Amino acid sequence: MRGELRGEPRVVRVAAAQMGPIQRTDSREATVTRLCSLLHRAADGGADVVVFPELALTTFFPRWFVDDISQADHYYEREMPSPTTSPLFLAARERKVGFSLGYAELTPDGRRFNTQILVQKDGSIVARYRKVHIPGHATHEPQRKFQHAERYYFEPSNDGFGVWTAFGGRVGMMICNDRRWPETYREMGLQGVELILCGYNTPLNYLPDPSQDRLAGFHNALVMQAGAYQNGTFVVGVAKGGCEEGVDSLAESHIIAPSGEVLAKTVGNGDEVIIADCDLEWCKNYQNTLFDMDYYRRPEVYPRLTSQRGPRLRADGTPLT
Ligand code: CDT
């Protein structure tokens, strides 16, 4: 085991810029103005980087189904930055604060991704992540109170989970449902990630199993705190919460330490900025000791992790080996 503990502090001041709802009638310009004001609040607090939610430029449009997907094209960005979003990039450069932003992406060859970017303090894009785990359903389910048709509106990315050098450390991204899967964190953990940034939109009513509704906040914290601790990394989860077009969504944005402890958490479900100083050196206390992966992991006895998607069972319910 390496055993080397934290050295000279490497502090990144991180802001989580939670948003309240974005209604369907809100213009993109008004939303960008709102994002800019959150960015200024974070910069006033001395933040190095500010994290915005998933699909932060629009309402969460997968709650509606349209037979002709091109009718939803206006929810997607064809370029980044664009004339509409450039004020945010200019504000970042002016205030010398980086940011991470989620939005719907429509590529020149017509592919649709749920995307998050990482922007440096000079306003340049350093990284782009496209959502891997796409939840919900791909066809219209009219019996539902509201749709969650992400699997219709977005294709799952095969790019995987990158980790980039930025803000003096190793930074990765994940989007909403990704945070529920341990593989997400581990893929980045195996690249020595120190700071994982995540935006989310989580409806408080899980229609396939309402018994989970009362646990939405618990499960949100559970997965992010576990992912942080088990990989010795900071995790920042940022919500678009509140009641959007009649659908209530979880707020409870978090900044979590490599110990799994919560450093900061929002109290309301509207626009709100929380800030925490994240000393990336703290990661070493976990990554070089109890979770020194190179020393302790046993990939040779985990073959199923990459060779199968779900359990393989016989008709009688016993596992196929
Ligand atoms: N946006 C997103 O990924 N939300 C999901 C909701 C799952 S219910 C279909 C989440 O995991 O929070």
Whole-prediction pTM value?
0.98
Q: Between the CA of residue 183 and those of 11, 25, 72, 96, 232, what are the distances in Å?
A: 27, 37, 31, 33, 14
Catalytic status, residue 131: yes
Catalytic residue among 54, 77, 252, 272: 54
Q: Is the peptide bond before 81 cis (omega within 30 degrees of 0)?
A: yes
Q: Which residues contact 91 (CB under 8 A, 6 or more apart)?
A: 36, 39, 40
**Protein residue whose Cα sits closest to atom 11 of ligand 1:** 177
Instruction: For 230, list phi and psi in degrees, rounded to 5.
Output: -70, -15
Instruction: For 270, list phi and psi in degrees, rounded to 5.
Output: -115, -160
Token output for 140: 């219209």
| Direct distance between the N- and C-terminal alpha carbons of the chain, in angstroms, rounded to an integer | 33
CB atoms within 10 A of CB 128: 17
Q: What is the pLDDT of residue 321?
A: 78
Mutation test residue for ligand 1: of 134, 174, 201, the one with most atoms within 8 Å of CB: 201
> How far does Cα 223 stand from its chain's mean position?
12
CA-closest candidate to residue 173, choices 47, 35, 54: 54
Catalytic status, residue 4: no
CA–centroid distance, 176 to ligand 1, in Å, is 6
Catalytic residue among 77, 105, 150, 176: 176
**Protein residue whose Cα sits closest to atom 9 of ligand 1:** 136
The superfamily (CATH) of domain 11-307 is Carbon-nitrogen hydrolase (3.60.110.10)
- What tens-digit pLDDT sequence spans the chain (321 residues)? 999 999 999 999 999 999 999 999 999 999 999 999 999 999 999 999 999 999 999 999 999 999 999 999 999 999 999 999 999 999 999 999 999 999 999 999 999 999 999 999 999 999 999 999 999 999 999 999 999 999 999 999 999 999 999 999 999 999 999 999 999 999 999 999 999 999 999 999 999 999 999 999 999 999 999 999 999 999 999 999 999 999 999 999 999 999 999 999 999 999 999 999 999 999 999 999 999 999 999 999 999 999 999 999 999 999 997
Pairing of strands 98-106, 242-244: unpaired
DSSP state of 265: E
Tell me the C-alpha distance between 131 and 146, whole Å.
22
Q: Which atom of ligand 1 is nearest to the CA of 180?
A: 11
CA angle (27, 30, 51) in 5-degree steps: 110
CA–centroid distance, 200 to ligand 1, in Å, is 8
